[in-house]
Amino acid sequence: MIYLEYSDFDNLYHDFSRLLINDLEKYKDDSFIIGATVYLNNVILKATSCDCHLDMADFNYTRSKWTTLVNKYVDKESYFDLKERLQTSTAKTLTFNFNIHIGRSTDSDKTKNRDSCLVALVFSRRGNSGKWTNVSIYYRVTEIFKKFACDLILFNRMFNDLPNLDIKEYMFYIPQPFYSTFILSELMDKVFDIEEFNHPDNFICFKINKFYDKYYGENAVESNYHSIARKQKMKKEGIKRDSIPIESLKLFNDYYLEKSLW
């Protein structure tokens, strides 16, 4: 098991990410590598603040990714109900389940949670009234460098929007996070600086530089992988994505206004 503590979501993302690149050897008993992908087992992360300034544009995403993310995981009716329950419940714990998504399968049973990375939020407090002081975030699995970053943005927006919260501890329970050195090379020059991983004796750094040189170097090979091909085109044509400030990302505002008038 890996247990780590951070001050906020920004610190959690950047420091945890660099730890997985530069010091993976520390966790050799809790990790394994298959091809270009690194897997970890039973990771628990703690943050004491949800402050977050990650920019989706830095991860090669457009604003449409935000809409997709919200629609994929957060049911509008359930979210509105959560806002009500956080203010009226007399329980010590309260659960919010994320949407279930069915994976590629010929199985006729459509109730199985095959592809959902996010499972649930569990809010807790010491008594039966007052503000909620703790939240536990449960995953099935997650890709760390791109998808988890977007999740942190989603959580920041949710926790800043939900009522009656005074969260002191944000706990992430992730049974098997993973990342690909192939995809990680895509984040160089924006989220990370390729120069900080110039350690050829480090296997992960070696793989990152190998893919970076292959797809973004002087003799770059065109990739068929969608996001990398898109970044290659942008780099070639000198296109830069507009920043997507986290404060500009909203959750169902028009829906709630309409709901409150019923």
pLDDT tens digits for range 175-215 = 999 999 888 888 988 899 888 888 888 989 999 999 999 99
Sites in the chain below the pLDDT cut of 50: 104-113, 255-262
Note the pLDDT of residue 218. 85
Note the pLDDT of residue 167. 98
Note the pLDDT of residue 113. 42
Cβ-contact 155, 139 below 8 angstroms: no
Note the pLDDT of residue 163. 96
Note the pLDDT of residue 233. 87
* Domain spans in the chain, listed from the N-terminal domain onward: 2-260
Note the pLDDT of residue 109. 47
Could you tell me the fold of the domain covering 2-260?
Thymidylate Synthase; Chain A (3.30.572)
Note the pLDDT of residue 244. 95
Q: How far apart are CA 66 and CA 61, in angstroms?
A: 9
Note the pLDDT of residue 253. 59
